Amino acid sequence: MPLPDLNPPAASAEAPESTPPPYACSHCHDCGYNNFPPADVCPKCWSESTTLQDLSREGILYSFSTLVGRDSSQFVGYVDLPDKIRVFGLLTTTDRPDCGTPVSFVEARPVGNGPCFVFDVSPTQEA
Ligand SMILES: [Zn+2]
């Protein structure tokens, strides 16, 4: 007697595309509030008059943490943008950064494997 097929083929529900999230916030045209991540409704005034607005590519490192790996360490941190938005991202530096250092946006990566935004840490002033 054949065994029942316990793994019927999925109804071709394609896996969600691994497209990077937009590097953007939603801007409210009624009260001016920028919201991240973007939303269709302004959380401050409930206006639906919002549009997607690209985030500034330059920001300031607010805080960071070290991810200690077997072979190397990585840094992640929060970046304050002039848009009054704070985003979380991976920092490209291999040296311990300083809070308050200017950083610049490099790329957005697909969600699912760590931080999706990557920032380059500007070289600090030479010692
Ligand atoms: Zn608003």
* pLDDT tens profile 83-122: 999 999 999 998 999 999 999 999 999 888 777 999 999 7
88: CA distance to ligand 1 center in Å? Answer: 23
Residue-wise burial string across 98-120, b where 16 or more C-beta atoms lie within 10 A, e elsewhere: eeebebebeebbeeeeebbbbbe
- pLDDT over 90 at 30, yes or no: yes
Q: Give 87 Cα–ligand 1 centroid separation in angstroms.
A: 20
CA 8 to chain centroid, in Å, comes to 36
CB 92 within 8 A of CB 119: yes
Q: Which domains does the chain have, with CATH numbers?
A: 21-54 (no CATH), 56-127 (2.40.50.140)
In the reported structure, the alpha carbon of residue 11 is separated from the centroid of ligand 1 by a whole-number distance in angstroms of 41
Distance 104 CA to ligand 1 centre (A): 27
**pLDDT per residue as tens digits for the range 32-82:** 999 999 999 999 999 999 999 999 999 999 999 999 988 888 999 999 999
Ligand 1 centroid to 41 CA: how many Å? 8
Using the mean position of ligand 1's atoms as its centre, give its distance from the Cα of residue 46 in Å.
6
